[in-house]
């Protein structure tokens, strides 16, 4: 009777004989991860991946009962949370995980920015990461409409309306998103298509490139290590040490997610997704209509802008401003080519700090001035 | 003399009703009177707000005379001059146009033309015909020279304003002295369920004085008319009462129908304590224990069951509210609670049949439905506890695995 270990080894040899995976395992075994005071930021990439996996699993379960369409979307979500066994839990996990995933991705992005981990040779990794951030935000935006409730309807109307003010392509963009001139049943099926087919396909492709690059190039070392001799650089093996630590973080995240989903299945405070009333295009918008927290800083900034800025609509100026800022932020590895002690390096760090402060203050004002 | 002139001016506008649309020229009447009259509340100052002005009528259309003349004596001597009507002449003065279908069709075909005829049958009209000049005429209610359409809030006969318009005379003890009728109707009405709805909540669907007493043909309703008047709105209650044993009993004792239990001007919101045999019960005013009084037994049984339904509904509402507070989905139960409340409303209506066989099925239905919702609420709360237990177990397991991993990390990094 052969032991389980010997069966496993034979199976491994059988596969290796055909696809040569030993090289990959050897590579992982020899790969190491830098150890330093800021190593905690390394875990946010993995954490984002964990929440993405949760999203895929819970999303597939929701798909079993969700029916897109103006006459069925709201009713099917109501059915999921009230009739389907553990349906409430799956929806709560999907909603919480979506928000936590965006939070993890945003933290991951800012940690990479402030540690300047985007510098050569990791420019492509940064670009794919920014692509993933954009896709995650679109995931959130498209998923928000799917329950077809009052709040989602009007938030989507405002959101897609903003796309409409983009110069030149605005009209086309808005129609592309809405599927008609207004937010209708056609918009749900369109957003549903984006949310469960287009975005996952794109996300998986970009994520694969992102992970391959991370594996290929390894974790970015701190800038202070550039002048340090190899003997003074502390490292830990990627396998099993870093992988086990990653797993530990995932388990803690799973615990937090479970507690949040069970105790606050419909969110907490301003972060809520209770179903409420079904969307009625002929009703007046409810009071306190506002976007999700990750769009709040843009929403609030646009509200502060005057109606006209040098004969141009304030909203148009704001949208163009955010668009240019996004492009600048994405291309930062190509602008920031300075040395360790260069003055421009500090300029970019301060720019990042101002950006973080701006986002935090505008988000805060968005909630307290509501 | 001055008062006569003022009275003349007041009535000028009313006469304007009879003028053709084409006679829109104000002539000298308005320009002179506007110049002479002192104060803000004079006929000429009121006139711009009058519906007759909007219709294109002028002073001479009502008051007659030649408006092109400058001298007042010449106007009085001119052809067709009618001047200011006496109080007893006012209904006919207005009715000259408002009772003429062909004429009124030119202005507002939907307006009734029987006001004068009805007025003659009203208590006001009958008293005026006997020469009682204190009796209300058209201008007592509709005002004069600033008459607004009844459906505009500025009108003295707009639904919300009617009680005060009537109260101007009927709540004035000195004015009403000698008529031998109470003067506290307005105070009572203002506190009643109808008065609160109309005057405080400004619900113009709520009845004002004229909805029960009529307007142009205003009379106090007779004993037999009361249920018909109330039944205009409370149709089902009236129908049930007509089929109830109380119908004949009240007739035999010459008791008014609705009013006997609910009063008239000071109708309060009905309470469940009004049914039954308790201290606030109205049933025990006539029915007493013993001697096989079937009414007493019915009142007692209905009261007990009604109380049970109210308590069941309250219990179910509380438990569902607790479940909702804990974030549980209770949409179906909230709908079911509405059904429970509907049975309670229906049961309260069915009380007017005063027949246990008709009331009991609805009460039973409500009690059973309420009990089922309560049970579902308990199950939902149980589900909440199960979730917490499940979460506790899952958290312990996940924490245990995390601890093992942490120990493993410590061991391999030692």
- Which chain A residues touch B399 with a CB distance below 8 Å? 251, 255
Do A93 and A196 lie in one domain? The reply is yes
Share the mean pLDDT of chain A: 91
pLDDT exceeds 50 at position A50 = yes
If asked whether residues A169 and A314 sit together in one domain, one would say no
pLDDT at position A215 over 80: yes
B387 vs A241, A254, A262: nearest CB: A262
Cβ distance of B413 and A262 shorter than 8 Å: no
Together in a domain, B132 and B196: no
Summarize chain B as % helix, strand, coil (round to 5): 65, 0, 35
**Has residue B269 been placed in a domain?**
no
Q: In terms of pLDDT, which residue wins out, A339 or B296?
A: B296
CB contact under 8 A, A258 and B391: yes
Number of domains in chain B: 3
pLDDT tens per residue, range B63-101: 998 888 888 888 888 888 988 899 999 999 999 999 999
Q: Same domain for B184 and B128?
A: no
Whether B178 contacts chain A with CB within 8 A: no
Q: Helical H runs in B99-154?
A: 101-105, 115-121, 123-129, 138-142
**Is residue A82 in a domain?**
yes
Residues A71 and A111 grouped into a single domain:
yes
Assigned domain for B370 exists: yes
Range(s) of the domain holding residue B381: 294-405
Same structural domain, B190 and B159? yes
Same domain, A89 and A133: yes
Q: Does any CB of chain A come closer than 8 Å to the CB of residue B414?
A: no
Residue in the block written with tokens 């002449």: B89
Q: Say yes or no: A247 and A156 in one domain.
A: yes
Do B59 and B113 lie in one domain? The reply is yes
Q: A248, A250, A257, A268: best mutation site toward chain B, by most B Cβ within 10 Å? A: A248
Interface check B232 vs A, CB under 8 A: no
The answer to whether residue B125 scores a pLDDT higher than 90 is yes
CATH code, domain with A115: 1.20.810.10
**This model's pTM is above 0.90:** no
Residues A204 and A151 in one domain: yes
Q: Which residues pair with A235 in a beta bridge?
A: A34
Q: Which of A78, A89, A248 sits opposite B405 (nearest CB)?
A: A248
- Predicted confidence (pLDDT) per residue in B135-159, tens digit: 999 999 999 999 999 999 999 999 9
Which of B197, B214, B231 is the last residue in one of the domains?
A: B214
Question: What is the pLDDT at residue B35?
Answer: 85
**C-alpha to C-alpha distances, A60 to A54, A63, A64, A91, B79, nearest whole angstrom:** 10, 5, 7, 11, 94
The answer to whether position A248 is within a domain reads: yes
Chain centroid to CA B265: how far? 12
Q: What's the residue count for chain B? A: 414
pLDDT in tens, B199-238: 999 999 999 999 988 889 888 776 667 777 899 899 999 9
Residues of A whose CB is below 8 A from B409: 241, 244-245, 248
The confidence score (pLDDT) of residue B20 equals 38
Encode pLDDT of B342-372 as tens digits: 999 999 999 999 999 999 999 999 999 999 9
Let me know whether A311 and A205 are in one domain.
no
CB-CB contact of B272 with B306 (8 Å): yes
Q: Are residues A163 and A261 in the same domain?
A: yes
Q: Which of A255, A264, A266 sits opposite B399 (nearest CB)?
A: A255
Please give the mean pLDDT across all residues of chain B. 89
Determine the pLDDT at residue A5. Answer: 82
Average pLDDT rounded to a whole number, residues A333-357: 80
Write down which residue in B163, B187, B214 finishes a domain: B214
> What pLDDT is attached to residue B4?
56
B21 pLDDT more than 50? no
* pLDDT on residue B17: 41
Q: How far is B362 from chain A (nearest CA, A)?
A: 29
Per residue in A216-239, pLDDT (tens digit) is: 898 999 988 888 888 888 999 888
B126 and B75 share one domain: yes
Do B187 and B302 belong together in one domain?
no
Among A28-42, A154-168, A277-291, B24-38, name the one with the lowest average pLDDT.
Answer: B24-38
B385: contact with A, CB 8 A cutoff? no
pLDDT tens digits for B228-272?
A: 789 989 999 999 999 999 999 998 988 888 888 998 898 988 999
ipTM: 0.83
Digit-coded pLDDT (tens) for A127-138: 999 999 999 999
Residue A310 is assigned to a structural domain of this protein:
yes
Please determine, for residue A291, whether its predicted confidence score (pLDDT) is greater than 60. yes
Does a structural domain hold residue A301? yes
The two beta strands, A32-34 and A267-268, are: unpaired
Q: Using a CB-CB distance cutoff of 8 angstroms, which residues of chain B are in contact with residue A240?
A: 412
User: What would the two tokens of residue B10 be?
Assistant: 């007041």
Residues A66 and A123 in one domain: yes
Q: Are residues B1 and B136 in the same domain?
A: yes
pLDDT recorded at residue B32: 85
Please check whether residue B396 touches A, CB under 8 A. Answer: no
> Which of B181, B214, B247 is the C-terminal boundary of a domain?
B214
A304 and A259 housed in the same domain: no
* Cβ atoms of B114 and B37 closer than 8 Å: no
> Do A183 and A303 share a domain, yes or no?
no
Quick check: B409 and A255 CB within 8 A? Answer: no
Q: Whole domain around residue A117: which residue ranges?
A: 29-221+238-271
Domain-located, residue A183 = yes
Instruction: Answer yes or no: do B135 and B43 share one domain.
Output: yes
**Same domain for B108 and B187?**
no
Q: Specify the number of domains making up chain A.
A: 2
B95: which strand partners?
none
A192 and A129 belong to one structural domain: yes
Spell out the residues 6+ positions from residue B338 whose beta carbon is closer than 8 angstroms to its own: none
Q: For chain A, how big is the Rg over CA atoms in Å?
A: 23
């Amino acid at each position: 009777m052969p032991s389980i270990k010997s069966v496993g080894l034979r199976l491994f040899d059988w596969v290796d004989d055909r696809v040569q995976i030993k090289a990959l395992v050897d590579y992982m075994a020899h790969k190491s991860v830098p150890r330093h005071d800021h190593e905690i930021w390394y875990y946010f990439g993995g954490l984002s991946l964990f929440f993405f996996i949760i999203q895929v699993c819970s999303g597939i379960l929701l798909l079993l009962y969700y029916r897109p369409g103006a006459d069925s979307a709201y009713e099917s979500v109501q059915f999921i949370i009230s009739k389907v066994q553990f349906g409430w839990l799956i929806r709560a996990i999907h909603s919480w995980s979506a928000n936590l995933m965006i939070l993890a991705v945003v933290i991951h992005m800012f940690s990479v920015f402030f540690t300047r981990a985007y510098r050569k040779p990791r420019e492509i990794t940064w670009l794919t990461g920014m692509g993933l951030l954009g896709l995650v935000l679109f995931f959130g935006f498209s998923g928000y409409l799917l329950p077809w409730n009052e709040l989602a309807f009007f938030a989507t109307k405002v959101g897609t309306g903003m796309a409409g003010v983009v110069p030149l392509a605005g009209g086309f963009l808005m129609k592309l998103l809405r599927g008609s001139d207004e937010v209708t049943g056609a918009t749900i099926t369109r957003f549903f298509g984006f949310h469960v087919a287009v975005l996952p396909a794109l996300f998986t492709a970009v994520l694969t490139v992102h992970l391959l690059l991370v594996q290929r190039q390894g974790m970015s070392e701190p800038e202070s290590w550039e002048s340090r001799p190899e003997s003074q650089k502390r490292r830990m093996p990627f396998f099993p040490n870093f992988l086990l630590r990653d797993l530990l973080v995932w388990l803690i995240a799973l615990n937090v997610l479970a507690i949040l989903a069970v105790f606050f299945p419909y969110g907490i405070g301003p972060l809520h997704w209770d179903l409420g009333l079904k969307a009625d295009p002929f009703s007046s918008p409810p009071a306190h209509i506002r976007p999700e927290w990750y769009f709040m800083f843009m929403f609030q900034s646009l509200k502060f802008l005057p109606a006209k800025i040098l004969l141009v609509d304030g909203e148009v100026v704001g949208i163009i401003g955010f668009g240019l800022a996004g492009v600048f932020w994405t291309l930062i590895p190509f602008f920031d080519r300075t040395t360790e002690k260069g003055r421009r390096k500090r300029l970019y760090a301060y720019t990042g700090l101002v950006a973080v402060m701006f986002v935090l203050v505008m988000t805060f004002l968005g909630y307290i001035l509501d | 003399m001055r008062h006569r002139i003022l009275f003349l001016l007041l009535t000028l506008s009313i006469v304007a009703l009879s003028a053709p649309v084409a006679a829109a020229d104000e002539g000298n009447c308005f320009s002179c009177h506007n110049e002479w009259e002192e104060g803000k509340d004079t006929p000429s100052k009121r006139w711009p707000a009058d519906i007759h002005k909007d219709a294109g009528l002028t002073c001479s259309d009502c008051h007659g005379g030649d408006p092109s003349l400058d001298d007042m004596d010449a106007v009085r001597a001119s052809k067709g001059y009618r001047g200011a009507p006496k109080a007893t002449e006012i209904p006919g003065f207005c009715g000259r146009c408002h009772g003429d279908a062909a004429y009124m069709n030119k202005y507002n075909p939907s307006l009734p033309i029987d006001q004068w005829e009805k007025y003659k049958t009203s208590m006001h009209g009958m008293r005026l015909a006997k020469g009682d000049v204190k009796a209300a005429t058209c201008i007592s209610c509709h005002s004069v020279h600033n008459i607004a359409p009844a459906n505009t809030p500025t009108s003295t006969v707009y639904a919300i304003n009617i009680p005060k318009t009537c109260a101007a005379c009927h709540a004035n003890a000195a004015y009403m002295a000698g008529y031998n009728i109470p003067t506290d109707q307005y105070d009572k009405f203002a506190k009643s369920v109808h008065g609160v709805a109309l005057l405080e909540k400004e619900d113009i669907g709520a009845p004002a004085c004229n909805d029960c007493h009529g307007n142009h043909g205003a009379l106090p309703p007779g004993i037999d008319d009361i249920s018909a008047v109330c039944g205009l709105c409370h149709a089902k209650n009236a129908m049930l009462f007509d089929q109830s044993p109380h119908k004949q009993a009240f007739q035999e004792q010459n008791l008014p129908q609705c009013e006997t239990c609910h009063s008239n001007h000071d109708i309060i919101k009905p309470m469940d304590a009004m049914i039954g045999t308790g201290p606030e019960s109205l049933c025990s005013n006539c029915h007493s224990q013993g001697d096989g009084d079937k009414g007493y037994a019915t009142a007692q049984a209905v009261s007990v069951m009604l109380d049970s339904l109210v308590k069941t509904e309250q219990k179910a509402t509380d438990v569902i509210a607790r479940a909702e507070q804990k974030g549980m989905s209770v949409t179906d139960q909230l709908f079911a609670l509405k059904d429970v409340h509907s049975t309670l409303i229906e049961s309260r209506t069915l009380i007017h049949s005063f027949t246990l066989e008709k009331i009991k099925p609805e009460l039973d239905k409500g009690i059973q439905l309420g009990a089922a919702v309560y049970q579902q609420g308990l199950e939902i709360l149980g589900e909440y506890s199960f979730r917490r237990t499940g979460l506790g177990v899952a958290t312990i397991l996940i924490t245990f695995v995390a601890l093992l991993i942490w120990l493993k990390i410590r061991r391999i990094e030692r």
